[in-house]
Amino acid sequence: MQQDRNYGAVFIVVFLILILIGALMMNDSSYSVENLINDILAGFIVFGFFLLIVLLIRKFSKNNPQQAQMQAQMQVDSVDKDFLIEPQKSDVTFDDVAGISEVKEELIEIVDFLKNPRKYQEFGVRLPKGVLLVGPPGVGKTLIAKAVAGEAGVPFFYQSGAGFVQMFVGVGAKRVRNLFAKAKANAPSIIFIDEIDAIGKARGALRNEEREATLNQLLTEMDGFEKSDGVIVIAATNKVELLDDALLRAGRFDRRVYVELPGLDDREAILRIYLRDKPFRGDVREIAKMTVGFSGAALASLVNEASIFALKQNKGFIDNDDFIAVRDKVLVGKKKILSYTENEKKILSYYQAAKAVVARWLDVDFDKMTLVKDNFKEIDRELISKSEIESKMEVYLSGMICVEDIFKEKYSNASEDIKKAKELAQKMVFEYGMGENILSSEAEVAKLLDDAAQRAKVLYLSQKEVILKAQRILFEHEVITAEEIKAIFDEVL
């Protein structure tokens, strides 16, 4: 509308200017009605020509959808002429990936499928088309995908999510199409899409046409190929909660594998891999102990830094002192990596021990708990009871209560758990109608939280002996299993 009105105004101005030009062309100096009519007529004729030219230009440019499409395609092609999709040969094996035995187990089936697709086809077995590796940066997601390709001996197509989405609408979609076509032509094969969140972010208020076009193309391709095509798509992300639901639906990335920061044993194994061919005379276990929170990538760079440091010392071998000397440098160089001092580890071990014991006592399900992660199982039932939610709130608050009792101080690590407890209380009041009054209010949320904290305190005091024993295990091994806690209960009670 606005645009049409603008056109109208431009036409009137142009028309008046042309009348003026017409008048000048007629070259009449005297003013009469006849001259004026002549001027206007001349103006009309010139204006007619002008209009004709404008219409012709419009017809051949914008109003011709075919031509517009061709132009867009040319634009896409010119942006994309340097973009090559070539398969890589991977010689990485599972032996090169240290630790994460559970992850490997989950992927062995995929390797077997890629090796013997026919075996699976004959039995009509459904295997996932897409596997989503979820975990923080540097934990080896790319390495794992390469190992799957290496073990199966199939070509590996690497693409980063950000590499798809470009400035021009259509470039990303075309890249996705080409990638799948190439992978199918080289099947069995693996497509690895790193940082898939760059394409697959949930469609929020801010629309991005190029990203949506790319995502839609990816969804189409994933729906389009059959399992028998022998292509497996592995994608990596560290923010699964940001992904568009469409990507996670059945038949797309319906298998999720969580890759976490390595625990003590895994850190030791990773360090051993990188120290394999080096003149190391030290205690690997000790180094593993002082690197809580380091990812595999950070450990690799730590070994490298320590080796450089040892070389500079000219002593001919590497030992723990070299690691201690460069540890902080690696930490500073990679700000995101977190690592804990002995005292911090102590605080965390009390905090998590209380949570683990209270959880075991109240039947809140988990397999193992580490210094930084509680690994509670998601409740995925429709029907949840009030007491079940209250138990979970008590667990979340028990860590803080224990640390406060032992250290006479509060620490910021409790913030996540407090937030979770609060969210549960809010759900109880505002969604499930589990508050005391019909009228829901924030005051009721606060009361539920206070009550839960009171109960958690009573529980903490009654189980303190068990918690202190659990703390020692957590501090020493950085991890405690539900089984170990059961054993302490059996011993104490």
Per CB under 6 A, contacts with ligand ADP among 232-251 are 236
Contacting range for ligand ADP; rule: CB under 6 A; set: 17-25, 97-105, 203-211, 327-335: 97-105
Which region, left, alpha or beta, applies to residue 407 given φ > 0 means left and ψ of -120 to 50 means alpha?
alpha
- Under the binding rule (CB under 6 A), the answer on residue 98 touching ligand ADP is yes
Binding residue for ligand ADP, selected from 297, 306, 357, 452, defined by CB under 6 A: 297
CB of 286 to ligand ADP, least distance (A): 19
100 binds ligand ADP (CB under 6 A): yes
Q: For the CA atoms of 83, 165, 216, 174, what is the dihedral angle to 10 degrees?
A: -20
| Nearest-approach distance from CB 300 to ligand ADP, in angstroms | 4
State whether the Cα torsion 332-333-334-335 is positive or negative: positive
> What is each CA distance from 376 to 232, 363, 366, 380, 390, in whole angstroms?
30, 11, 5, 12, 15
**Sign (positive/negative) of CA torsion 440, 443, 449, 452?**
negative
- Given the rule CB under 6 A, which of 38-46, 60-68, 293-301, 393-401 is the region that contacts ligand ADP? 293-301
Q: Which is nearer to ligand ADP, 100 or 114 (CB)?
A: 100
Nearest distance from C-beta of residue 259 to ligand ADP, angstroms: 7
Q: Find, among 474, 369, 354, 478, the residue nearest to 407 by Cα.
A: 354
Among 87, 140, 172, 230, binds ligand ADP (CB under 6 A): 140
Q: By the 8 A CB rule, do 76 and 174 touch?
A: yes
Q: Which is nearer to ligand ADP, 43 or 135 (CB)?
A: 135
Rounded to a whole number of angstroms, the minimum distance from the CB of residue 143 to ligand ADP is 4
Q: Which is nearer to ligand ADP, 225 or 258 (CB)?
A: 258
Least distance (Å) between residue 243 CB and ligand ADP: 16
- Helix boundaries (H) for 27-132: 33-60, 65-80, 101-115, 117-122
Q: Which CB, 42 or 97, lies closer to ligand ADP?
A: 97
282 scored as a contact of ligand ADP (CB under 6 A):
no
Site size with ligand ADP, rule: CB under 6 A: 18
Among all residues, whose Cβ is closest to ligand ADP?
Answer: 296
The total of other beta-carbon atoms located within 10 Å of residue 124's CB is: 7
Residue closer to ligand ADP (CB basis): 275 or 418? 275
Binding residue for ligand ADP, selected from 219, 270, 287, 474, defined by CB under 6 A: 270
Whole-number minimum distance, CB 141 to ligand ADP, in Å?
Answer: 3
Residue 273 binds to ligand ADP (criterion: CB under 6 A) = yes
Q: How far is the CB of 94 from ligand ADP (least distance, A)?
A: 10
**Which two tokens mark 48?**
């007619």
Nearer to ligand ADP, 43 or 293 (CB): 293
Measured from the CB atom, is 117 or 137 closer to ligand ADP?
A: 137
Q: HSE-up of 150 (CA within 13 Å, CB side)?
A: 14
User: Residues 190, 153: contact at Cβ < 8 Å?
Assistant: no
Is residue 137 part of the contact set for ligand ADP (CB under 6 A)?
yes
For 331-351, letters b (16+ CB in 10 Å) and e give beebeebebbeeebbbbbbbb
Residues in the chain: 493
385 vs 337: CA distance, rounded Å:
39
- Binding status of residue 163 toward ligand ADP by CB under 6 A: no
160 vs 313 by CB, closer to ligand ADP: 160
Nearest-approach distance from CB 359 to ligand ADP, in angstroms: 28
125 burial class (0-12, 13-18, 19+ CB within 10 angstroms)? exposed
Report the residue from 104, 129, 141, 252 that binds ligand ADP according to the rule CB under 6 A: 141
Give residue 278's identity as a one-letter amino acid code: K
Query: Cα dihedral sign for 221, 227, 228, 234?
Result: positive
Residue selected from 79, 275, 300, 482 as contacting ligand ADP according to rule CB under 6 A:
300
From the list 20-28, 140-148, 422-430, 473-481, the region that binds ligand ADP by CB under 6 A is 140-148
Tokens, residue 99: 């630790």
CA distance 163 to 60: 34
User: Which CB sits closer to ligand ADP, 23 or 103?
Assistant: 103
In the three-class reduction of DSSP (H, G, I as helix; E, B as strand; rest coil), residue 67 is classed as helix
Which residues of the chain form contacts with ligand ADP (CB under 6 A)?
A: 97-100, 135, 137-143, 236, 270, 273, 296-297, 300
